[in-house]
């Protein structure tokens, strides 16, 4: 492999083709079905599918098969099959994954920016979905064509781009089953939907947390009542819901008290967390915009950097991400409200069974309601996490060489705090496969939030790294 030639090819492809395509992609408000129930009628998803398929076809990859697979009542899936250069049908294959659906708009975008307004500034492409995860298909095919441009052999590659990842990938298992015979048993899975601790080296994800979420509702009276008349007689529904949440979380420390949400952290992951903490440094917490000035700034949960990495990747944590029954401050009358509902998001350690945790969560929240109030917890978005198998020596060496070649620094392995719902499923279906899980979602890239951006130089280098690993895989698999 001529590394400089590979890098020139990939950088030019990003500049001339990938970045312009991502600009067009960002303009399309292709929200995931959970956030756009009328996605079929609105047509945004179909527009993105057409764009992706057209671009893939224009790359003129030899013998590529590109299909849009459609199962009734489900979001579409783009399926691409690129034969091995040695034409061996039985040779081990590679599965590459990405998604094309997006999170909703969110508030708080800076002036001149917006979810559907692509802006390039300081090598960052702002807008919803570019980094999460629109670039994945473009990077995957470019890594393959960069090898072909130098006549470097590669195994058969299957590229899958799904359309409901941001809704929990509920359609993907049906497609994997439908395509099982065609996909076969890949020996390597590459997923480009994860994060990076900085933009200075290649980061590979060793685990993902799971999720047990839902809506907790408390009803105490049939209608609102004057607070001067009812308070002191009718218990406040917010106080009741606060009491109930205290059953599962320490209000003082944030520690999760639910034993079904606790897991032992493997020593190897603790060691990786220490290395990652040393590399990231204070960026572990300083990358978040804590309020206040330097003399009175809000503080993170801890200043122990290793503990922060473990908190984010291996420990459970509860967030209240939505509320009903609470009028805005300006509209609040002097009324004791009849009910309060909170949307809960409980992140789970990678090895915890999310269904078991969710069932226990519902039991604890609903049992013995204070004041005999009506308390109901409706679970949703339950997803177990994922714990990667140990890396084969060839893959660990390849990843390190790729990082040194194209970033100039050693690769780092670390768990991620979020979920990629399909990873656990693929781990079960392909137990012999190796996994390279990586991505461009680094400091302040703010996936799902305002001012999301893709760091373009990292996207280019990451594409080079993927090409290197695909080439090395052939050397082992062949």
pLDDT digits (tens, 9 = 90+) for 395-454: 999 999 999 999 999 999 999 998 877 788 888 888 899 999 999 999 999 999 999 999
- Residue written as token pair 């998803």: 45
Q: Of 381, 402, 429, which residue constitutes the final position of a domain?
A: 381
What does the alpha-carbon distance between residue 416 and residue 211 come to, in Å, rounded to a whole number? 13
Res. 178: pLDDT tops 80:
yes
- Residue 293 belongs to a domain: no
Integer-rounded Cα Rg, in Å, for the chain is 24
Q: Of 341, 363, 381, which residue constitutes the final position of a domain?
A: 381
Res. 77: pLDDT tops 70:
yes
State the pLDDT at residue 478.
Answer: 46
- Residue 473 belongs to a domain: yes
Q: Are 320 and 462 part of one and the same domain?
A: no
What does the alpha-carbon distance between residue 14 and residue 197 come to, in Å, rounded to a whole number? 22
Q: Are 56 and 158 part of one and the same domain?
A: yes
Res. 218: pLDDT tops 70:
yes
Q: Are 26 and 93 part of one and the same domain?
A: yes
Q: Are 390 and 343 part of one and the same domain?
A: no
Are the beta carbons of 396 and 389 closer than 8 angstroms? no
Q: Are 149 and 252 part of one and the same domain?
A: no
Mean pLDDT across 334-344: 97
Are the beta carbons of 57 and 70 closer than 8 angstroms? no
Tokens read off for 392: 């084969």
Q: Are 377 and 471 part of one and the same domain?
A: no
Mean pLDDT of the chain: 95
Res. 24: pLDDT tops 60:
yes
State the pLDDT at residue 383.
Answer: 86
Q: Where are the beta strands (DSSP E) in 16-91?
A: 65-69, 77-82
What does the alpha-carbon distance between residue 246 and residue 288 come to, in Å, rounded to a whole number? 26
Q: Are 351 and 423 part of one and the same domain?
A: no
pLDDT in tens, 45-57: 999 999 999 999 9
Per-residue pLDDT band for 335 (boundaries 50, 70, 90) equals: very high
Domain residues for 445? 3-208+385-477
pLDDT in tens, 396-412: 999 999 999 999 999 99
Q: What is the CATH number of the domain that holds 255?
A: 3.30.70.360
Nearest to 258 by CA among 240, 244, 241, 238: 244
Mean pLDDT across 234-257: 97
- Helix (H) or strand (E) run with residue 54 in it: helix 44-58
Q: Are 398 and 376 part of one and the same domain?
A: no
Q: Are 98 and 131 part of one and the same domain?
A: yes
- Residue 360 belongs to a domain: yes
Mean pLDDT across 124-146: 98
- Residue 268 belongs to a domain: no
State the pLDDT at residue 477.
Answer: 55
Other beta carbons within 10 angstroms of residue 34's beta carbon come to: 17
- Residue 279 belongs to a domain: no
Q: What is the CATH number of the domain that holds 138?
A: 3.40.630.10
Tell me what percent of the residues of the chain surpass a pLDDT of 90: 91
Nearest to 105 by CA among 82, 127, 130: 127
Res. 387: pLDDT tops 70:
yes
Measure the CA angle with vertex 205, ends 20 and 420; round to 5°.
Answer: 70
- Residue 274 belongs to a domain: no
- Residue 234 belongs to a domain: yes
Res. 72: pLDDT tops 50:
yes
Q: Of 355, 381, 407, which residue constitutes the final position of a domain?
A: 381
Q: Are 325 and 407 part of one and the same domain?
A: no
- Residue 122 belongs to a domain: yes
Domain count, the chain: 2
Nearest to 70 by CA among 157, 174, 166: 174
State the pLDDT at residue 86.
Answer: 81
Q: Are 424 and 464 part of one and the same domain?
A: yes
Longest alpha-carbon distance in the chain: 82
Q: Are 373 and 396 part of one and the same domain?
A: no
């Amino acid at each position: 492999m001529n590394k400089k030639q590979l890098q020139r090819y990939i950088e030019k492809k990003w500049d001339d083709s990938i970045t312009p395509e991502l600009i067009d992609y960002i303009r399309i408000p292709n929200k995931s079905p959970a956030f756009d129930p009328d996605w079929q009628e609105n047509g945004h998803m179909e527009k993105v599918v057409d764009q992706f398929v057209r671009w893939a076809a224009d790359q003129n990859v030899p013998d590529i098969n590109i299909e849009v697979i459609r199962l009734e009542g489900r979001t579409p899936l783009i399926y691409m099959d690129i034969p091995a250069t040695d034409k061996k049908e039985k040779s081990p294959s590679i599965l590459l994954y990405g998604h094309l659906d997006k999170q909703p708009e969110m508030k708080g975008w800076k002036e001149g920016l917006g979810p559907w307004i692509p802006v390039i500034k300081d090598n960052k492409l702002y807008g919803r979905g570019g980094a999460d995860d629109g670039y994945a298909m473009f990077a995957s095919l470019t890594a393959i064509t960069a090898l072909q441009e130098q006549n470097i052999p590669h195994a058969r590659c299957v590229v899958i781009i799904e359309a409901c990842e941001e809704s929990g990938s509920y359609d993907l298992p049906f497609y994997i089953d439908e395509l099982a015979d065609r996909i076969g048993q890949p020996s390597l899975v590459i997923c480009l939907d994860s994060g990076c601790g900085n933009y200075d080296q290649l980061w590979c994800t060793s685990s993902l947390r799971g999720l047990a979420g839902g809506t907790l509702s408390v009803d105490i009276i049939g209608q609102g009542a004057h607070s001067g008349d009812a308070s002191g007689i009718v218990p406040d529904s917010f106080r009741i819901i606060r009491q109930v949440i205290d059953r599962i979380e320490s209000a003082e420390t944030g520690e999760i008290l639910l034993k079904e949400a606790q897991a032992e952290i493997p020593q190897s992951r603790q060691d990786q967390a220490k290395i990652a903490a040393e590399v990231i440094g204070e960026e572990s917490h300083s990358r978040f915009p804590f309020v206040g000035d330097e003399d009175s700034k809000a503080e993170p949960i801890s200043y122990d950097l290793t503990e922060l990495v473990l908190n984010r990747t291996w420990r459970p944590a509860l967030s209240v991400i939505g509320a009903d029954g609470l009028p805005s401050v300006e509209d609040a009358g002097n009324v004791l409200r009849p009910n309060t509902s909170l949307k809960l998001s409980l992140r789970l350690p990678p090895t915890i069974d999310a269904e078991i945790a969710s069932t226990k969560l519902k039991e604890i929240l609903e049992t013995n309601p204070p004041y005999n109030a009506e308390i109901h917890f409706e679970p949703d978005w339950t997803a177990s996490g994922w714990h990667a198998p140990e890396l084969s020596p060839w893959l660990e060496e390849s990843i390190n060489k790729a990082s040194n070649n194209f970033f100039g620094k050693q690769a780092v392995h670390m768990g991620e705090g979020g979920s990629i719902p399909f990873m656990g499923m693929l781990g079960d279906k392909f137990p012999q496969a190796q996994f390279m899980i990586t991505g461009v979602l680094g400091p302040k890239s703010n996936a799902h939030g305002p001012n999301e951006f893709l760091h373009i130089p990292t996207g280019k280098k990451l594409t080079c790294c993927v090409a290197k690993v695909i080439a090395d895989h052939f050397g082992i698999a062949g």
